[in-house]
Structure formats: C-alpha cells, structure tokens
Amino acid sequence: MFNFDWLSGVSQETAKMIFLSMYALIGLLVLLLPTEYIYEGIAKEDRHWWNNLKLWSIVVLSILASIYNHF
C-alpha cells in the first residue's frame, strides 16, 4: 500500500493525461475567480489587461502543459 502498488496498472500515458487534466482544472478554477479580487490593490483607473493575474496564470499553465505534453 505504501508504494501505491494498486496503481501499478496505470500506464505512463494515462498518468501523463492525469497531470494534463489537472492543469486544465486549475486553469478553469482560476478563470472562475472574480475579476475584482484579481485586481485588488490597484486603483480602478490603473487597471489594464496586462495587470490581469488570470491572464498571467493561464499563460504559465499553458507553458507547463506544453512541457508535459512534449516529454
């Protein structure tokens, strides 16, 4: 049990899909965050698309997913 023997039947390809699905799920959760919360700390008149931390997160997750997809 301590060695996760019960998962020995899961192939490397399936395991990779688990990781990729996890990145997609995290991305979805980030997109669901209220925009007001994302910008908290910046004055309303100074808010621009490049301050949008959702966008930052999606870019980072996309790069991560592409690395796992490649290797």
Partner 1 sequence: MLAGIDYFIVIAYIVGMLLLGLYFKKFVNNSEDYFLGGKSLPFWAIGMSIVVSDIGALDFVGVSGQAYRYGISVGNFDWVGSVPAMLLAAFIFIPYFWRGGMYTIPEYLGRRYNQKVRTIASVTWILFFALDLGVLFWASAVLLNVLMGWPIWISIVATAGVVGLYTYFGGITAVIMTDVVQFVIMFIGGFALVFLSLYEVGGWDNMVEKISTMGPEYRNHFDIIQPQDTKSPFPWTGILFGLTFVMANAYMIGNQSIVQRCLTAKNEWHAKASMIFGSALKMFIPILVLFPGLMAVVVHPGLADGDQALPMMIKSILPPGLVGLMFAAFFAGLMSSVDSLLNSTATLFTKDIYEPFIKKGADDKHYLKVGQITTLVLLLIGVATSPISSDFPGIYVAIQTFMSYFQGPIFAILLLGIFWKRTTEWGGLSALVIGIGFAIYLNVFKEQFFTIEDPFLYISWWSFLLGFIVNVVVSLLTKKHTEEQLKGLVFRSKILVENKKL
Site residues (CB under 8 A) for partner 1?
2-5, 7-8, 10, 12, 15-16, 18-19, 22-23, 26, 30, 33-34, 36-42, 51, 53, 56-57, 59-61, 63-64, 67-68, 71
Residue 15's closest CA among 68, 54, 57, 70? 68
**Distance between CA 46 and CA 71 in Å, rounded?**
40
Check if the beta carbon of residue 23 is closer than 8 Å to that of residue 65. yes
Min CB(59)–partner 1 separation in Å: 7
The residue among 49 and 63 lying less far from partner 1, judged by its C-beta, is 63
